[in-house]
Amino acid sequence: MLLQKISQTIPNFKFQNKLFNLSLITCVPLLMLFVLEIVYRGNFSSTVSWLINYPKQFFVSYGLMFGFINLFYIFNRKIYITISILFLSFFSIIGLISRQKLILRGEPLLPWDLILGKEALNISKEFGGSMQVVPLLVISLITMVLLASIKFMPREDFNWQNKLTAFLISFTMLLSFYTGVFSLEKTFSLQLINWSQKMNYDENGMLLGFLLNTTNLSVDKPGEYEQALVTEIMNKTTPAYAVDPNFKPNIIFVMSEAFWDPTLLKEVSFSEDPIPYFRSLQKNQTSGVMLSPVYGGGTANTEFEVLTGLSTQFFPRGVVPYVEYVRKPIEALPAILKKQGYETTAIHTYDNWFYGRNNVYQNFDFDRFISKEFFDQPEYNGQYIRDTELSKKIIEEIKRTISLTLSMEFRCRPTGHILQNKILIIQSK
């Protein structure tokens, strides 16, 4: 009440001057951005470190938050402040959910988590303990206190024309980004780190990292893609040779991104063949050349094409299907072989969370996934597990599956490594 009386007595009191309004529209989005980052990162110092190390990402995030919240600046001050407080609470909860998901599942909140209702429900179920309830109660309490304090704010001499400039700036910014007039990645030289969403959010910030992911949220259907056409193509396709439906070999499929044939270099000569054993296999067994969709990175895309038979050519540039699209079961090679009686196992000598393989392999219907975490004191070559350790694990799995098959009276049980109708998908780093 005292502030109201002062404001009525002093015409140029700070609550009614332009300087205060300018402070309001600049500080409110800054506060929201800081609260979102602090809650997501878990502490203030990490947020400050992000601001110092990635100032470009910070200022872009601030610009986006400025454009969003100041759309409501066109309303009178009390309504603007009320909406700001509610969104402050909303971003706090979003940051908390994202941090909780990061702790429990190794990746933050992503756009497709909001699209898939079941996924969002699974996230909400994790908020059962007291450690999660306390932050929610604190956010609720602060929100109620801030909302209650609005009634003590002096009344504003509302003039929407004085607020039109800030509104138009905000509206133009958001419209430009939404319609694609300006690309965030190209305009500001940003990078969507889609091989690790944790790194993506750590570098770009939660707001910007989340929005960068939305650019690849959907894929447009090709113009000539029709079910009747696909059916017609399938009906015209016949096997190149006769196939015995009862023939079910054991399968061991190895993907090695580091192996290559150096004799393919045209300007280099060798005194002897650098890969003689592999060459002998080429001569005595079926061999050929495959075209990889990526080079120097993005190995999950090669893996995706092999396991699904789908081409990444039709996806947007830079997309990693494992990250953006594989959010539900897909009839991939493991699922198909399981229907034929195979047991499927995947082995990878790197972290299980990388490219989200821990979730993707479940959607591909692998029975087991043996990642770096399940190698017992392996020998390393630099920062990566040696290929010899991978070979040992393959042999170990083959022996296990032989024993299992014998105990099952030689019943057909395939595996990702293959043995007695088993398929084994292995990849070295």
Q: What is the CATH number of the domain that holds 306?
A: 3.40.720.10
Q: How confident is the model at residue 31 (pLDDT cuts 50, 70, 90)?
A: very high
Q: Do both 326 and 392 map to the same domain?
A: yes
How far is the CA of 87 from the CAs of 58, 167, 213, 233, in angstroms? Answer: 19, 17, 21, 52
**What are the residues facing 345 on neighbouring strands?**
368, 424
Is the Cβ–Cβ distance between 226 and 220 less than 8 Å? no
What average pLDDT does this structure show over 216-228?
77
Q: Do both 210 and 260 map to the same domain?
A: no
Q: Do both 280 and 371 map to the same domain?
A: yes
Q: How confident is the model at residue 39 (pLDDT cuts 50, 70, 90)?
A: very high
The gap from C-alpha 390 to its chain's centroid, in whole angstroms, comes to 27
pLDDT tens profile 372-427: 989 988 998 888 888 888 888 888 888 877 644 433 222 223 333 333 334 455 44
Q: How many alpha carbons lie under 13 Å from residue 46 in its C-beta half-sphere? A: 14
Residue, of 148 and 403, whose pLDDT is higher? 148
Domain C-terminal end among 163, 197, 214: 214
Q: What is the pLDDT of residue 37?
A: 94
How far is the CA of 11 from the CAs of 6, 17, 31, 45, in angstroms? Answer: 9, 9, 28, 41
Q: Considering the domain boundaries, does residue 120 fall inside one?
A: yes
Q: Considering the domain boundaries, does residue 93 fall inside one?
A: yes
Q: Considering the domain boundaries, does residue 63 fall inside one?
A: yes
Tell me how long the chain is. 429
Count the domains in the chain: 2
What average pLDDT does this structure show over 78-94?
90
DSSP H/E element including 57: helix 55-69
Q: What is the pLDDT of residue 406?
A: 33
Q: Considering the domain boundaries, does residue 229 fall inside one?
A: no
Q: Considering the domain boundaries, does residue 251 fall inside one?
A: yes
Domain C-terminal end among 214, 237, 264: 214
Q: Do both 354 and 416 map to the same domain?
A: yes
Q: How confident is the model at residue 182 (pLDDT cuts 50, 70, 90)?
A: low
Q: What is the pLDDT of residue 176?
A: 76
pLDDT tens profile 91-136: 999 999 899 888 877 778 888 776 555 545 554 555 555 446 788 8
Q: What is the pLDDT of residue 408?
A: 28
Radius of gyration of the chain (CA): 29
Answer whether residue 348 shows pLDDT above 80: yes
Provide the residue range defining the domain that includes 342.
246-428
Please name the residue that has the structure tokens 């609550």.
15
Q: Considering the domain boundaries, does residue 231 fall inside one?
A: no
Interatomic CA distance for residues 387 and 366, integer angstroms: 22
Domain C-terminal end among 196, 214, 232: 214
Q: Do both 256 and 205 map to the same domain?
A: no
DSSP H/E element including 217: none
Q: What is the pLDDT of residue 384?
A: 83
Tokens of 240: 């190149």
Counting residues of the chain whose pLDDT is more than 70, the rounded percentage is 80
Q: Considering the domain boundaries, does residue 304 fall inside one?
A: yes
What average pLDDT does this structure show over 349-372?
89
Q: What is the pLDDT of residue 86?
A: 92
**DSSP alpha helix (H) spans, 312-366:** 321-324, 333-339, 357-363
Answer whether residue 249 shows pLDDT above 90: no
Backbone phi, psi, residue 58, to 5°: -65, -50
DSSP H/E element including 348: strand 343-348
For residue 26, the SS3 value is: helix
Residue, of 335 and 11, whose pLDDT is higher? 335
Q: Do both 196 and 273 map to the same domain?
A: no
How far is the CA of 35 from the CAs of 90, 98, 133, in angstroms? Answer: 11, 13, 18
Q: What is the pLDDT of residue 121?
A: 58
What average pLDDT does this structure show over 356-360?
89
| Least confident residue range of 145-149, 156-160, 304-308 | 156-160
Q: Considering the domain boundaries, does residue 347 fall inside one?
A: yes
